[in-house]
Homo-oligomer: A and B are copies of this chain.
Amino acid sequence: ITNNTNGMSPKITGELLRQLRHAMRNCKYFSEPIQAYIVPSGDAHQSEYIAPCDCRREFISGFNGSAGTAIITEQHAVMWTDGRYFLQASQQMDNNWTLMKMGLKETPSQEDWLISVLPENSRVGVDPWIIAADQWKTMSKALSSAGHSLVALQDNLIDVVWIDRPERPSKQLRTLGLEYTGISWHDKITALRAKMTERKITWFVATALDEIAWLFNLRGADIEYNPVFFAYSIVGMNSIRLFVDLKRLQIPAVKEHLQLDSPSKPELNIQTFPYESVYTELQAVCAALSPKDKVWICDKASCALTQVIPKSNRSPIPYTPLCLAKAVKNETEIQGMKVAHIKDAVALCELFAWLEKEIPKSTVTEISCAEKAEEFRSQQKDFIGLSFPTISGVGPNGAIIHYRPLPETNRTLTMNEVYLIDSGAQYIDGTTDVTRTMHFGTPSAFEKECFTYVLKGHIAVSAAIFPNGTKGHLLDSFARAALWESGLDYLHGTGHGVGCFLNVHEGPCGISYKTFADEPLEAGMIVSDEPGYYQEGSFGIRLENVVLVVAAKPKYNYRNRGSLTFEPLTLVPIQVKMMNTELLTQRERDWVNDYHRKCREVVGAELERQGRKQALDWLIRETQPIV
């Protein structure tokens, strides 16, 4: 995200905080002053990536990491963030701010800290649109039990003091035909209603931007890296309401796609409303509810919208039916994802072939290499943009898990250090996400050893056969077993769901040691497989493929449950030079050779078609069988 990063000099916040505290005391905005104000990270849709107009926590503090919560009282301005961002936050914030290092034993929770500093009977304010319903509940309960109250403020106080706050983006919408989506939005609505009927639900409130984009087969560009647009939707058995900046619907293609002028059936008539009117419309819907009516809303939706629904009618769910349906890709989407991954592999083969020539000249840096990768990707058909900011790290920078090269940290790629690049793109037919770790000179025995353990973990997941209905978190330890055996590990999950020309991170499945409420893996789901190893101050290793869940056919079929395994969609060679092949079993060597054969066949044909001779030579050399 172009976070207006001002490098490492802190933002001067004294005057802003003075103004904010004035607003906290100002009864223009509410009946009584508030003693503390909470500024969470997110937007009203609980998006992982957010638009500039929603970067309120960054605006007030200067800290632009992806996770963090600010709390401002009359005396204090305090920031909670996690270990990834301790250094960055302390460099970006001036001394008006106190950093709370989450995960350390002595660090109090936000609730405990508030209770320790607040005068009796305090009012703590928060914008109910950007706090999720479940977080509101926890915070409100803790404050109440100590005699305070959490107060929903309709006016966002950061916006009050943010004079030059950017406009909410409203980029042009893109319609996706059946050749990309495989299912019309009509059929998606019908399937949603069938699920609602089955569970006796009368209304469904959609708040997640990727779910709304998926449902209507539309894409936007409101948030960088994520092809989504700001919208809400409320779906009933005979009604579809779409809340979106109405001028976006004036384009004939969009109008026609949504059949706004001539719905095919009355129950497929989309009523359109301004984005901002979702609150009052939901109130109107709820006013007409009978006591038995149930309304589905995600338990991570905003507190503001959730609380519109009377508690007795509210049926909160951890994952919406759209989230679940979206996760299982249909044949058209799978084909699109395959094509996107072949194009992406072409770009990376070009990149790596180019790097081999350029690195000896010492002219390539982490930043320029990331730019070159984007340039090669942009030459591919239907390229839209990157799917996330490229992680491009040389030597010690590779060991910083969420590293993004900045001018101050930028290192030159050399023959002496390990290079890690984690990158991906949005194409109209699919989304990619791939990590490769390479050495352009001679890796050390320790680097090779660690790389090989990571590879063994990657293969153990990728080649695993497991029963239908298995949750992804049960596979996480397979990725770690080889590292554990040597006393090593990595402190992140092993995989995440991947959207199809949608968000590169999506629920409800994943592969992690954290036993969050993931849904069982199903054929058609797409996840990443990305174990790693990070030697602080020295090098980082990660091997990431995007893999498709497919049916497996082992010898037996216990209780007719059926079995699943993974098929790699990513087809980029894994550097053999980094492997200590003696540490691999015969089955692992076979896996590497099979994988490389497939890379050569499939990507080689496309390189040939595109006339990319140099990259083809590189591919052929890098996919020689190992013995």
Are B464 and A563 neighbours in the complex by a CB distance under 8 Å?
no
What distance in Å separates the Cβ of A201 from its nearest Cβ neighbour in chain B? 16
Are A466 and B478 neighbours in the complex by a CB distance under 8 Å?
no
What distance in Å separates the Cβ of A454 from its nearest Cβ neighbour in chain B? 13
Are B554 and A513 neighbours in the complex by a CB distance under 8 Å?
no
Option from B464, B477, B563 in Cβ contact (under 8 Å) with A487? B563
Q: Which of A160-168, A264-272, A317-325, A468-476 contacts B (4 or more CB under 8 A)?
A: A468-476
Given contacts A474-B476, A484-B466, contact A489 B145 (CB under 8 A): no
A28 contacts which chain B residues (CB < 8 A)?
none
Identify the closest chain B residue to A517 (Cβ).
B515
**How many chain A residues have a CB neighbour from B under 8 Å?**
30
Are A487 and B312 neighbours in the complex by a CB distance under 8 Å?
no
Map CB proximity to B onto A91-134 as digits: 1 under 8 Å, 0 otherwise.
00000000000000000000000000000000000000000000
Say if the beta carbon of A486 comes within 8 Å of chain B. yes
A555 contacts which chain B residues (CB < 8 A)?
486-487
Are A487 and B515 neighbours in the complex by a CB distance under 8 Å?
no
Are B488 and A465 neighbours in the complex by a CB distance under 8 Å?
no
Map CB proximity to B onto A557-597 as digits: 1 under 8 Å, 0 otherwise.
11101010000000000000000000000000000000000
**Residues 541-564 of A at the B interface (beta carbon under 8 Å):** 554-559, 561, 563
A477 contacts which chain B residues (CB < 8 A)?
466, 474-475, 477-478
Are A489 and B467 neighbours in the complex by a CB distance under 8 Å?
yes
Assembled-state Cα–Cα distance A193/B609 (Å): 75
**Residues 472-510 of A at the B interface (beta carbon under 8 Å):** 473-478, 480-481, 484-489
What distance in Å separates the Cβ of A542 from its nearest Cβ neighbour in chain B? 15
Identify the closest chain B residue to A460 (Cβ).
B481
Map CB proximity to B onto A232-273 as digits: 1 under 8 Å, 0 otherwise.
000000000000000000000000000000000000000000
Given contacts A145-B312, A312-B145, A473-B515, contact A556 B488 (CB under 8 A): yes
A515 contacts which chain B residues (CB < 8 A)?
473, 515
Assembled-state Cα–Cα distance A390/B489 (Å): 41
Are A554 and B465 neighbours in the complex by a CB distance under 8 Å?
no
Chain A positions within 8 Å of B, measured between CB atoms, are: 145, 312, 464-467, 473-478, 480-481, 484-489, 513, 515, 554-559, 561, 563
